[in-house]
Amino acid sequence: MMNRQLPNIVDLLLDAVFLVDKEGRIVHVSAACEHILGYKPEEMTGRMMMDFVAPVDRAKTRAEAGTVIAGEQRVGFENRYIRKDGRLVHLMWSARWSEADQLRIGVARDVTERRRAEDMQAATYAISEAAHSATDLPDLLREIHFTIARLVPAAGFAVALHGCKAGEPALPYQCGLSGGDSEVVRELCDETLRTGVAAERPATDHGSEEWIAIPLLSQSGSSGALILKGYRETRYSEKDKELLQFVSTQVATTLERRRLNEELTRAARYDDLTGLPNRRLFQDRLHSAMARARRHGERIALLYIDIDGFKQINDSLGHGAGDVLLAEIGLRLQQSVREEDTVARLGGDEFVVLLEGVQVPGDALLVAEKISAAISHPVLLDGHMLCVKASIGLALYPDHGESQDRLLSHADREMYQVKKARSAGL
């Protein structure tokens, strides 16, 4: 009597009971599967269990099934399944192998709501950790991608940020996207960045992917968007969208904080007018260059540069024209040296160039001549075509000193000797 009633009793359980053969085919499933997965028992019976598992969880599910078949009872294993409507559910399993029946017996409990709450907390922590540990923006965005992929299905992922050219969106990070996806990505970028609200591209049929773009909103407004491409088998639920909205706020705040920190760091180490390293950053680079030169037995050179007659230009044409001249000279200095050399503005009209790997003093003199020629090219200031000259002093490490102060002092004295000789007409 009890054995005959057992299937009816099992069907009363809120958890779903599955019987699966050794090949992974469903032999029997209880009535609760319809509430949990949306399928009636007869729709699942005879099909492969793995067909219902989320693609990203299939590998670990196969491994877990192998462990059960080998005779080990498993309790508390979690994975994600695809509902009939395409949404994902988190299931927690208790399973064992029946040798007599050659069946895997599993009991599945829907833990989606519990996992969602845990995921939101974990996402906040993970994004915060990434903000502190990431070495650069691509590294941070990669960690954000990994965090989001653990929360919702994402076959493809991209981050769009407001670009610097006429509001054009930039895509500093993308993964899992193909050339054929570029049009829909661009459309979602444009729409989300323009409106500041989520945009979607629903799947057109069962074999196509769903797309969603979530704006990155912070106190300063919309800074970009998260763009997700779903799997063909899955669809984004309203709960998924709520979770993405929550995560996007954390991401936006993190990116905004990082941007502000970078601006503060740059302001502390770079000159606002020319964009060149300031005295503080130059001293750091000089310290490192001296250490390398000492270690490898090499020379470095300092060129101390002062613009002749700059005060008169400022007084006659105004500070605005003077600023334009300084910015132009900074650009010409950068164009006159190698990419690995350092050009810095110490203040006022004083610049310094750090040259590493100098073989003989003549190498530095050739660079000084190149710089002098570049600066002397005419420049248009406030309607006036001016030709300016620069006085340049040279110091070599270790020839003229083995400390920063000695090197800078020597180069400064040399520069004033040049200026003095030029004033005397020599």
Active-site amino acid positions: 349
User: Which candidate, 401, 399, 395, places its Cα nearest to that of 417?
Assistant: 395
Q: Give me the residues paired with residue 161 across strands.
A: 170, 224
Closest CA to 94 of 80, 81, 76, 111: 76
Q: Which H or E element spans position 94? A: strand 88-98
End-to-end alpha carbon distance in the chain: 120
Closest residue by Cα to residue 341 from 408, 272, 276, 405: 276
At CA 85, angle to CA 81 and CA 89, rounded to 5? 30
Separation CA 316–CA 134 (nearest Å): 50
8 A C-beta contact, residue 374 and residue 387: no
* DSSP-derived 3-state class of residue 255: helix
What are the tokens at 105? 């017996």
Contact of 230 with 177, CB cutoff 8 Å:
no
How far is residue 239's CA from residue 100's CA, in Å, rounded to a whole number? 42
In angstroms, what CA-CA distances link 105 with 82, 112, 339? 20, 22, 66
CA distance 88 to 96: 24
Q: How far is CA 170 from CA 144, 185, 225, in A?
A: 17, 11, 10
Q: Return the H-helix or E-strand segment holding 267.
A: helix 238-269
Q: Tell me 378's DSSP state.
A: -
Which letter does DSSP use for residue 152 in this model? Answer: S
| 317 closest CA partner among 397, 237, 414, 384 | 384
Q: What are phi and psi of 271, to 5 degrees?
A: -80, 130
Residue 395, helix vs strand vs coil: strand
